[in-house]
Amino acid sequence: MSALIARMSDLGAQDVEWLHLLVADWQVISDLGFADLVLWLPTKDDDVVAIAHARPSTGATVHHDDVVGQSAPPGLRTMLLAAAQSKTQSRLREARWEGSFAIREEAIPVVRGGRTLAVVARQTYLGGNRTPSRLELNYVESADELCAMIARGEFPLAHAATGPRRGAPRVGDGLVRLNAEGETLYASPNAVSALHRLGVTDEIVGVSMAEVITPLIEESSPVDESLPLVVMGRAAWRTEVEARGVSLSLRALPITEHGERTGAVLLIRDVSELRRQERELLTKDATIREIHHRVKNNLQTVAALLRLQARRTGSSEARTALEEAMRRVATIATVHEALSQTIDEAVDFDAVFGRTLRMAADVASGEARVVTERTGEFGRVPATDASALAVVLTELVTNAVEHGLAGQNGTVRIDARREGNQLRVRVSDDGVGMDAEQAADGLGTQIVRTLVATELDGSIEWEPLDGGGTSVTLRATLADVRDAG
């Protein structure tokens, strides 16, 4: 839509935003009016082109094909241009026949700041011959009032909520018409049923909605501060009310005439089941985080026991083995600590590895001065791969310090490159290098090879560097990252 407007007209950024706000909120008018809405834009070359289209979910559509980008037919074009010039609504005296069915057409100028930006064509399918019901009459009357607001430059509502507070509920979920005092003029059957589930048993027509809902709110339950404004129809906002285990989503559309509020349309939807499912998800997320937290605590306990055992061991070889086991357990605990702090089953691996990298280098270097340099980014890594990847990289860094630098001062470099699920990590040092036998038979190397093949679905290669040092290249295929949202 923005591309069409930019190419065909000279409308400014604020005018374009006004049209976007209209299109974002006009589905309610289409549903209330049982009509297709087509937004027609007068162009710089005196053409009239469709730039947006909404079909009603409450009735039959007039346009089965996409009309966006098409020019208006001659008869409709004349009516659209006349409405744009006069800034008033116009309707054809007689229905237009389209094959076997008739269409009632109306042109509504989209006015902002006294200028016509575009024209909305309201086209209603007249295929059925029957007396409209009371619900349909109230729907159409509400649509007429909102269309009149478009022509006066009062819709879309400039101060309406955006984001999650704009949009639903829909017309079919439940509708209540209010007068200027917030009293009910009409309530659709779906709206009556939703209010009954909330606890409203008396007749609500002629009664203020605020007086109906306020006694039902439990003293201990939280109340949205916008609730009074919404149920009185005074603010174009959306809120929720909860009572007796039932949650209703309420959305108000104030009806104005020349700036004076004359009533409102209140849309109501029962969202009790949706909120129950959300609470279940929150409970599951909290449970998962608690599990990760307890696993982290247990692993830290195991690491502490290994540290105590290492201190009491007289054999230096056994002490070294216990310290290495302690380091591996502590690395896995770090991953679970990160998982316990998020609702997603994925971790920011750059943050996790930053902590384990320094720990591994400091423990392995002893008295030597070892510098670690990192380039590139790991990104978000799923929990299924994070522990194995952390252990593998910790082993590679430890081997580079212990065997590559061999107790000497030096530098270990880690370069990470991520493309989608494919990860390539290169760990290199500027030391004396590892011999082939050591690279093949060491316990750390065997752990690395096993985890890379079985957990990371990847490969690993060792190669000497010119001038001394060793380079290890890890390639891994990570699982998809699934966020909680």
pLDDT value at 354 more than 60:
yes
Rounded to whole angstroms, the Cα distance separating 228 from 239 reads: 10
Quick check: 394 and 335 in contact, CB under 8 A? Answer: no
**DSSP class of 169:** S
Structure tokens at 56: 């009603």
Beta bridge partners of 68: none
Average pLDDT over residues 31-35: 95
Rounded to whole angstroms, the Cα distance separating 177 from 182 reads: 9
CATH class in words for 344-485: alpha beta
pLDDT at 343: 66
pLDDT at 100: 75
Q: At 301, is the pLDDT very low, low, confident or very high (cuts 50, 70, 90)?
A: confident
Rounded to whole angstroms, the Cα distance separating 171 from 173 reads: 5
Rounded to whole angstroms, the Cα distance separating 121 from 68 reads: 13
Rounded to whole angstroms, the Cα distance separating 236 from 161 reads: 7
Average pLDDT over residues 198-213: 92
**68 Rama class: left (phi>0) / alpha (psi -120 to 50) / beta:** beta
The residue extents of the domains of the chain are 2-152, 163-270, 272-333, 344-485
Beta bridge partners of 266: 176, 252
Query: In CATH, what is the architecture of 2-152?
Result: 2-Layer Sandwich (3.30)
Q: At 485, is the pLDDT very low, low, confident or very high (cuts 50, 70, 90)?
A: very low
User: Which of 12, 31, 8, 30 minimizes the C-alpha distance to 20?
Assistant: 12
Q: Which of 49-63, 200-214, 323-337 has the lowest mean pLDDT?
A: 323-337
The CA–CA distances, whole Å, from 227 to 219, 222, 240, 243, 248 equal: 15, 11, 7, 14, 11
pLDDT value at 166 more than 50:
no
Structure tokens at 141: 């009357």
CATH class in words for 163-270: alpha beta
Could you report the per-residue pLDDT of 228-283, keeping only the tens digit for each?
999 999 999 889 999 888 999 999 999 999 989 999 999 999 998 888 887 777 77
pLDDT at 139: 95
pLDDT at 164: 47
Could you report the per-residue pLDDT of 79-127, keeping only the tens digit for each?
999 999 999 999 887 888 877 788 999 999 999 999 999 999 999 998 7
pLDDT value at 311 more than 60:
yes
DSSP 336-385: HHHHTT-SSSEEEHHHHHHHHHHHHHHHHHTTS-EEEEEEE---EEEHHH
Average pLDDT over residues 197-221: 88
The CA–CA distances, whole Å, from 412 to 174, 388, 393, 402, 468 equal: 65, 21, 12, 11, 13
Fold agreement (2-152, 163-270): yes
Q: Which stretches of 69-137 are assigned E, i.e. beta strand?
A: 90-91, 96-98, 101-112, 115-125
The more confident residue out of 149 and 466 is: 149
Quick check: 236 and 161 in contact, CB under 8 A? Answer: yes
pLDDT at 163: 47
pLDDT at 118: 97
Rounded to whole angstroms, the Cα distance separating 356 from 470 reads: 21
DSSP 189-248: HHHHHHHHHHT--S--BTSBHHHHHGGGS-TTS---TTHHHHHTT-SS-EEEEEETTEEE
| Average pLDDT value over all residues in the chain | 85
Planar angle of CA 252, 183, 189, nearest 5 degrees: 70
pLDDT at 93: 78
Average pLDDT over residues 139-146: 96
Helices (H) and strands (E) in the chain, counts: 14, 18
Handedness of CA 154, 158, 159, 163 (dihedral sign): positive
Average pLDDT over residues 152-160: 85
Question: 254-286 burial string, b = 16+ CB within 10 Å, else e?
Answer: bbbeeeeeebbbbbbbbbbeebeeeeeeeeeee
Rounded to whole angstroms, the Cα distance separating 47 from 45 reads: 6
The more confident residue out of 84 and 305 is: 84
pLDDT at 19: 96
The half-sphere exposure of 87 on its side-chain side, counting CA atoms within 13 A, is 10
The total of other beta-carbon atoms located within 10 Å of residue 301's CB is: 12
Could you report the per-residue pLDDT of 396-410, keeping only the tens digit for each?
888 787 776 766 788
